[in-house]
Amino acid sequence: EIEVDTSKDYADINIGVSFGQNEHPYFVAMEKGILAALENYGLSESNYNLLVADSSLETQVSQIENLITMGCDAILLNPYDSAGVVNAVNEAVSADIPVITMDIDCEGSAAFIASDNYEIGSMLASYIGDALEGKGAIAIIDGISVTSLQDRTNGFNDTMAEKYPDIEIVAEEYTAQERDEALASAETILQAHPDIAAFVGVNENSGMAIKAAVAAAGLSDSILVTTVDATQENLLAIKNGEVAVGVAQNPYLMGWQAVELAMNAYAGQEIATDELYTTEIDYMNTDNVQEFIDREEGYGIEIE
């Protein structure tokens, strides 16, 4: 937990936020956390500036530059890619603006709040490996186009190769970033491999696309489907039994904590560079899905 000096006057604080990708439920939750934390200090939307980089590193870099120009007191950054924002982050640092990274770290950040994407992939692999008792054929839709996806993909593949050498990945498509592409891939893969035991999605888009394709092919009973993130669609699908398992992160908490760190920096407190604040990641399945539904609804996110 992060300690904050609540006696200070934060009324004039100006926090810049930059998300690397477009808004989607994951970032919506993160934003909710940010706003809730601000509110906790009696602050409002006027104390922060949210910019979304539309999956473009160039855009994100100029957005960071603009945040510096605006004289932000702290920047909460979800980098589109860790290596690609370094120069801009250094610029912020030399302007004495602390940068707190969320989800994906980068060099120069004052603090990093994360859930470990590699670990997410690894958890998916362990779950599948155990459920299939170490053997069988599976397919996966993953990707290397974004750091978070790439880490999950690596985590999954590494763990599979290490712990479950007898499980064969018979098909892999890097189309997880776009749902319609993922759906087309999933449908086609099921044509070639209707007999797989599990079909792994490493994010909401791939998970939901696989769910739809498996259902349409009438294979829901024989194929284990996975997904990632406690989003509305994922939670409902798990609740309905269409998806066997998901890994939940807690973006809301990430946002909340990032604000607290920013407050500390504003108050003149040293933030140890590179300190890692991890948020929990957990399995979600039919047994515990209600907990996550309740958690998210508690955050003010519509689920049911």
Partner 1 sequence: MNREKVKIGALRELLLVIILIVMCIVWTIMNKNFATVNNVMNILRVASYTAIASVGMTMIIIIGEIDLSAGSLVCVSGLSAALIVKGTNNIVLGIIAALVIGALVGLFNGVVCAIGKLPGFIATLASMTILRGIAYIITGGNSVVWTNQMFSKIGTGYVGPIPVPVLIMIVVVIFGVILTTKIRFGRYIYAVGGNSNASRWSGISVEKVKIIVYVIMGVLTSIAGLIITTRLGSGQPSAGTGFEMDCITAVVVGGTSMAGGKGKVMGTIVGVLLIATLTNGMTLVGIDTYWQQVIKGAIIVVAVLIDSKGKSAN
38 binds partner 1 (CB under 8 A): no
| DSSP letter, residue 279 | -
Answer yes or no whether residue 56 interacts with partner 1 by CB under 8 A: yes
Q: Please name which of 121, 187, 109 lies closest in space to residue 149, comparing C-alpha atoms.
A: 121
Contact with partner 1 (CB under 8 A): which of 6, 44, 133, 144? 144
Binding status of residue 71 toward partner 1 by CB under 8 A: yes
Q: How far apart are alpha carbons 220 and 208 in whole angstroms? A: 13
Among 40, 126, 145, 157, binds partner 1 (CB under 8 A): 145
* Measured CA distances, 132 to 117, 200, 282 (Å): 23, 13, 20
74-82, 195-203, 258-266, 291-299 -> range binding partner 1 (CB under 8 A): 74-82
Contacting residue, 8, 36, 40, 51, with partner 1 by CB under 8 A = 51
From 4-12, 57-65, 261-269, 275-283, span contacting partner 1 (CB under 8 A): 57-65
CB of 62 to partner 1, least distance (A): 5
Residue 93 engages partner 1 in binding (rule: CB under 8 A):
no
Q: How many residues bind partner 1 (CB under 8 A)?
A: 61
Three-state SS string across 208-253, please? HHHHHHHHHCCCCCCCEEEEECCCHHHHHHHHCCCCCEEEECCHHH
Binding of partner 1 at residue 92 (CB under 8 A)? no
| Of positions 52, 75, 110, 248, contacts partner 1 by CB under 8 A | 52
Give, as ranges, the residues between 170 and 199 that touch partner 1 (CB under 8 A): 171, 173-175, 178-180, 183-185, 187-189, 191-192
* End-to-end CA separation in angstroms for the chain: 30
How far apart CA 181 and CA 175 sit, in angstroms, is 6
User: Could you give the CA distance from residue 69 to residue 266 in angstroms, rounded to a whole number?
Assistant: 17
Q: Which residues pair with 246 in a beta bridge?
A: 227, 284
Q: Does 7 bind partner 1 (CB under 8 A)?
A: no
